[in-house]
Amino acid sequence: MIAGLASNIQNPAIAEMETDLPATASQISLSLSLFVAFQGVMPLFWSAVSEVKGRKLVYVVSITISTVGSVVVATSKTIILVIFFRCIQAIGSSAVMAIGAATLADIFDPVERGRKMGIYYMAPLLGPSLAPIMGGVLTTGFSWRAPFWFLAAVSGLSGVLILLFLKDTFRKERSLTYQNVLKSRLKSHATRPVAKSRTASIAERPSLPVNLEKQQIPALRLFDTHTVAAADVALREMKLTLRDVNPFRPLWLVVRRMNNLAILVASGLMFGYNFVVVFTTSRTLSSAYGYNALEVGLVLLSFGLGNLAGSLIGGRLSDAKLAILKAANGGISYPEMRLKSTAYGLILLPPSVLAFGWVSAKHVHVSALCVFLFLSGFFVIWAYTSTLAYIVDANNGRSATAVATNSAFRGIAAFIATEVAVPLQDSVGDGWHYTIWTGLLVIVGLLVWLVTQKGGAWREAAEDWEQAANK
């Protein structure tokens, strides 16, 4: 819940922060956009660390950073300090989303991963769902600083619970990063001068084949004692450091696949909408409707509840559709099957966004806003959870990097969307602002449809190229 709470709990307090610090609307917008940008990009670093040191250490360190950032924001006297330590807070809270999805990929097979992703995303989405209410209650009862003290308490407690109870799920035999470094190490041993010793005789036989497609070292012949000894020494003695991990190469391997790139762009746009709608609606409710922080939070709860329902139902529909298509295909599945479950959500999303924009622009009764907030929240997360599960399924062995890349795309998209939201909202109003978003979400639907049609061929061509490059 930490990431969702941290990114959304500030929204009901925007008006009070502008008055108390003091700050302009642009500065508040910058604090939000920089937060989501750092929260989006930093998982690229955290995922690289998790491939070296495991998942648990990343959780503990990152949550500690988030806790410290929350405390400093809560005690800040100027908007500059708030902006800077909101970025620190974002760096810390950024790990839990990407590494959390990677932890699921460590544990569950693709056939059940969609449902597990849906259940898992209930927790991160409880953040956006509960954050407006929590932010509204705490701001109304105390001040805008109270939500950040609350974040510090939640982060600190989560860090302690993870330290005490979470077992590390990272398995090096399923990590392409580890397997590639092992292969490189064994090759480097082959080129070294061979000394006349038992150790040298082991290093002399480094040609252990590494099966990158299955993410594991193949079974060894029992009579090949030198190869067995080489594998045993390599597996027992090889310790990766950050120098062994280049986060940009696996990033490039993810982005260069056309199927990944199309889904990453679609995912980024959906998340950008998901983030900006809460921010701009908070401004509209405060200025046009005259609502206080608690009332703003209550209205925004409808969007969070839509997200929550869309995540749970969308994940189940994704797995059900995958099972039906797999059975029809003779028991054989492929990642693109999952995306076919998003069709109805992607068709209904643009009209619900368009309707929300114009009822918001006309300042009709708030119940209409709640209805279309719920519907757009439901449909956008229905599609989003399936695209995230697809990114994991289509990138076996580098799931952490794939999810981190997805996080970077959505962070950049949300940063841009938030930065242009205030000028757009002030110049053309909510109606035309969300009309633009309707067009972008139509593009999202077309990109997902394109991947369902062409993605398999693109993915297989990329896998063949990578296998040839690693020989």
Closest CA to 390 of 466, 313, 451: 451
Cβ(317)–Cβ(384) below 8 Å: no
**pTM summary value:** 0.70
pLDDT of residue 270: 92
SS (H, E, C) 287-354: HCCCCCHHHHHHHHHHHHHHHHHHHHHHHHHHHHHHHHHHHHCCCCCCHHHHHHHHHHHHHHHHHHHH
pLDDT of residue 115: 72
Q: What is the C-alpha separation between 120 and 298, in angstroms, rounded?
A: 24
Q: What is the C-alpha separation between 109 and 104, in angstroms, rounded?
A: 9
Q: Tokens for 289?
A: 């409707």
pLDDT of residue 187: 65
Closest CA to 253 of 455, 465, 39, 37: 465
Domains in the chain: ranges and CATH: 2-172+245-469 (1.20.1250.20), 173-244 (no CATH)
Q: What is the C-alpha separation between 442 and 266, in angstroms, rounded?
A: 10
Cβ(111)–Cβ(58) below 8 Å: no
pLDDT tens digits for the chain (471 residues)?
788 788 778 878 888 888 888 888 888 888 888 888 888 888 878 877 887 778 888 999 999 999 999 999 999 989 999 999 999 999 998 888 768 877 887 788 767 776 777 677 777 667 766 787 888 889 988 989 999 999 999 999 999 999 999 888 876 666 666 666 666 666 666 555 544 444 444 334 444 444 433 444 444 343 344 444 554 555 455 566 656 666 666 677 788 889 999 999 999 999 889 888 888 898 888 888 888 878 888 888 888 888 888 877 776 777 777 788 888 888 887 888 878 878 888 999 999 999 999 999 999 999 999 999 999 999 998 888 888 878 888 887 677 678 778 878 888 888 888 888 888 888 898 999 999 999 999 999 999 999 999 888 888 888 777 777 666
Q: Is 342 exposed, middle or buried (0-12, 13-18, 19+ CB in 10 A)?
A: buried
pLDDT of residue 89: 93
pLDDT of residue 161: 93
pLDDT of residue 402: 81
Question: What does each C-alpha distance from 204 to 104, 208, 211, 226, 470 come to in angstroms?
Answer: 39, 11, 21, 9, 21
pLDDT of residue 265: 93
CA atoms within 13 A on the CB side of 376: 29
pLDDT of residue 94: 84
Angle (deg, nearest 10), helices 122-141 and 146-165: 140
pLDDT of residue 32: 84
pLDDT of residue 70: 94
Running DSSP on this structure, what letter comes out for residue 78?
A: S
Q: What is the C-alpha separation between 196 and 78, in angstroms, rounded?
A: 68
pLDDT of residue 132: 77
